[in-house]
Amino acid sequence: MRDAYHEELEAVSATLVEMANMAGVAMAKATIALQEANLSLAEEVIAADDAIDDLQHQLDAKVVDIMARQQPVAGDLRALVTSLRVSADLERMGDFAHHVARVARMRYPEKALPPELTVVVGELGSAAQRIVSKTAYILQTKDAETALELERDDDEVDRLHRQLFRILLDPSWSHGIENAIDTTLIGRYYERFADHAVSVGRRVHYLVTGAYSSKSE
């Protein structure tokens, strides 16, 4: 049965999927901006972050409005509270894409990354895309099994993150402190982007199954 109330709940869900897609596009562009020192892409990502933030504010206001008007039963209430948390995670994922783009813009017309980091950051970018696509899928389908896969995908990000530090700490590193600072922060931005995706997966998993998938950070 489709009544106005359930249409509202579905609209909340659809907005979360849209936010996940926006965060994914932003991180894809930010990765290219970083790799190519592409200023216009970096500017696009930085400008688009406001749109994700606005969508979060609208969604959160909508959710509180539904809670106030509809007096939802416990199950729907838990789903709505989860939506608020998921929207905060997705907004934060958009922030990390924005942070990556800002590093690219700050170093323009130079490339922020020395050549020996191109491959590993490219792989971090690919891993981030895999994870955020899966996040959008999970939000759409509420598939608790796929939500569990995000933990393994995140292990891959952690592996790449450690590889980044190994390159930085290799005695052959010749790019100085400023590049090391940029790289440290960039690595953290990808890692945190993935962490928030895992957090979304855990929240959906818990909502659907009532069981925590594993200890959160």
Chain residues that interact with its own copies, rule: CB under 8 A: 53, 60, 64, 67-68, 71, 73-74, 77-78, 81, 84-85, 88, 95, 165, 168-169, 173, 177-178, 180-181, 184-185, 188, 216-217
Q: DSSP class of residue 210?
A: S
Are the beta carbons of 98 and 47 closer than 8 angstroms? no
Query: What is the smallest separation between the CB atom of 60 and its own copies, expressed in angstroms?
Result: 8
Nearer Cβ to its own copies (102/134): 102
Query: What is the smallest separation between the CB atom of 17 and its own copies, expressed in angstroms?
Result: 22
| Tokens (6 digits) for 23 | 């965060």
Nearer Cβ to its own copies (17/77): 77
Query: What is the smallest separation between the CB atom of 121 and its own copies, expressed in angstroms?
Result: 16
CA torsion, points 108, 114, 118, 122, in degrees to nearest 10? -50
Nearer Cβ to its own copies (134/205): 205
Query: What is the smallest separation between the CB atom of 54 and its own copies, expressed in angstroms?
Result: 11
Nearer Cβ to its own copies (1/73): 73
Nearest to 26 by CA among 50, 51, 53, 45: 45
Nearer Cβ to its own copies (46/134): 46
Distance CA 79, CA 91 (A): 18
Dihedral over Cα of 106, 108, 114, 117: its sign:
positive
Distance CA 58, CA 186 (A): 29
Query: What is the smallest separation between the CB atom of 68 and its own copies, expressed in angstroms?
Result: 5
Nearer Cβ to its own copies (2/169): 169
Look up tokens 């960039």; give the residue: 186
Distance CA 90, CA 200 (A): 8
How far, CA to CA in Å, does 92 sit from each of 72, 150, 178?
27, 17, 25
Query: What is the smallest separation between the CB atom of 125 and its own copies, expressed in angstroms?
Result: 21
